[in-house]
Structure 1
Amino acid sequence: MNLHKELKRLENFYAEKPDQVLTMYLNTDLSDPEQQGGEWKIHFKNGMNNFEHYLQESGNKDELKNFRNLKEQLEKFILEYERNLSKSLVVIASTDGELWFAQPIQMPVKTEFYWEDTPQLHQLRELHEKFPRTGIILVQQNNIKIIEAELGAVHDTDHYELDIDTEDWRQNTGPHQAKPSMGSGKSPQKEQFYDRFHANQQRWYKSIAPTLDKLAKDGNWEAIYIVGNKEEAEEIESHMNKPITEIVPKNLLEHEETKVIDEVVL
């Protein structure tokens, strides 16, 4: 998902009666003390019931019928969503079927429901400002890992490793595994590797920079973080054309992706 584009689409949507737009921000974070008993289900049920009672009292049969059809569709979606809960769920849907935006989000929202002729986007805009489309570049000597994320969730990962012998950066498609030979302790082999790496670091990082710039362009990154040894991170920054949001001087290459996001962005 590209939330920037989605917001543009949502901003321009308008429904004419008897059709309307349902906007739902639902906090489903089980780590929240107020959600320990699955209270989000009660909030969802109450929100739907409140709308239904309002429409019954208004006497608008067509609008009530449209709401009930959308409610049924949403209830089916919630049953599937419950199997893999995120921290929050945002749903913006129209009764004419032209608009359906249902996005699990790994960031907290305030539970709110709206039944109007346009989407209510204030919370979604705030979330986008806090966590736009982001590229996190983790560097550790001849290993570079890229995490692409948005709204607290991982969208994609890439890993590149420099072959010292061929001096080529190779993209690894499988899960990255740290090599035992690069662990702690000293050895002639490791000392030789470090000497050669530092002697060629500038040239080797310069060669990977165009690839990183292309990933940023293709992924529409609105924020970029470089994480790792300060000297190495600054070296990569110096060769990239894209502006860097922040350098984070921490070694997080081997950490799980969501932990990296929590540490670097959230």
Structure 2
Amino acid sequence: MALRKVLQQLENYKSEKPNRVFTMYLNTDLADQDQQGGEWKIHLKNGLNNFEHYLQKDGDSDEKRNFWAVKEKVENYMHEHQKDLKKSVVIFATGEGDIWFSERLQMPVQTAFHWEDQPVLDQLKSLNKQFPKTGIVLTQKEQIKLIDAELGAVNDTTLYELDLNTEDWKQHQGPHHADSNLGSGGVKSSKKDELAERFEENRSRWYKSIAPKIDQYAKNNNWDAIYLVGSSVEVDELERNMNKQVDDKINKNLLDHEEMKIIEEVM
């Protein structure tokens, strides 16, 4: 989700009767005591019915038709995703179909429904400010993982591994677990000390060669915040070689942890 672009598009959108904009912020967080019985279904039903009753009294047949089209889309979406909900659902929609934005978020929201001439963006903007486009860079000797995160969710994951034979950083896209160093042929325990010593001797040079790739990745993904995670020696070395500003450093080895656990730990 490119939230910055979505917000720009929604901010510039205005309409008028009968093609109004539906906005929904729905709390679906099962950790919330008020949601453990699936109360979101009641809130959703009541929220949609309230608008329908109002429009029945208003008597504008075109507006009613547009709302019914939105209601059907929203109900179908919630039915389709009811088994894989997170903490909240945000939807913006019009009956004519020129707007449809739906997202299940890891962040809670306050349940609210709107049927107005433009999208109601207050909560989405607040979430974007609290949880900006974030890069998490994890170091663990000759492995560096980059996590592109937004609103507490993973957009993309990239792993760089140093090939000890060629001294080149090899890129792997998406989730990846490495059992051994590239080019090491399955490093035996008797050689671990030797490899560790070699890494310490060359760390500065090797991190200097990977830092521009990280800077470029950060630029391409419009990171607003950057966190470095790893041993203090390694994150300090990496920070010295990066041009991008680092917001915080966490001295923990989390590289092999599941991505969502890493985000929860860091953010």
Cα offset, 1:179, TM superposition = 3.7
| Selected match of 2:217 from 215, 218, 233 | 215
Question: CA-atom RMSD, angstroms?
Answer: 1.7
Opposite residue 193 of structure 1, the aligned amino acid is: L
Gapped runs of 5+ residues in structure 1? Answer: none
* Separation (CA, whole Å) in 1 of partners of 2:110 and 2:16: 28
Cα offset, 1:32, TM superposition = 1.8
Cα offset, 1:42, TM superposition = 0.7
* Separation (CA, whole Å) in 1 of partners of 2:158 and 2:69: 42
| Selected match of 1:235 from 234, 237, 248 | 237
Residue 31 (str. 1) matches residue 69 (str. 2): no
Cα offset, 1:61, TM superposition = 2.2
User: Contact 1:140/1:251 (CA < 8 Å) preserved in 2?
Assistant: yes
* Separation (CA, whole Å) in 1 of partners of 2:193 and 2:77: 57
| Selected match of 1:263 from 259, 262, 265 | 265
Cα offset, 1:170, TM superposition = 1.1
Once the two structures are superposed, the pairs formed by residues 6-25 of structure 1 within 5 Å of their partners are 6-25=6-25
2:176 alignment counterpart: 175
Once the two structures are superposed, the pairs formed by residues 69-80 of structure 1 within 5 Å of their partners are 69-80=69-80
1:164 alignment counterpart: 164
Gapped runs of 5+ residues in structure 2? Answer: none
* Separation (CA, whole Å) in 2 of partners of 1:239 and 1:51: 56
Aligned residue pairs total 261
User: Contact 1:160/1:171 (CA < 8 Å) preserved in 2?
Assistant: yes
Deviates more, 1:162-171 or 1:8-17: 162-171
User: Contact 1:29/1:35 (CA < 8 Å) preserved in 2?
Assistant: yes
Find the residue that maps to 1:194 and give its secondary structure: helix
1:103 alignment counterpart: 103
1:55 alignment counterpart: 55
Cα offset, 1:191, TM superposition = 1.7
User: Contact 1:178/1:254 (CA < 8 Å) preserved in 2?
Assistant: no
Structure-1-length-normalised TM-score: 0.94
Find the residue that maps to 1:244 and give its secondary structure: coil
Opposite residue 171 of structure 1, the aligned amino acid is: Q
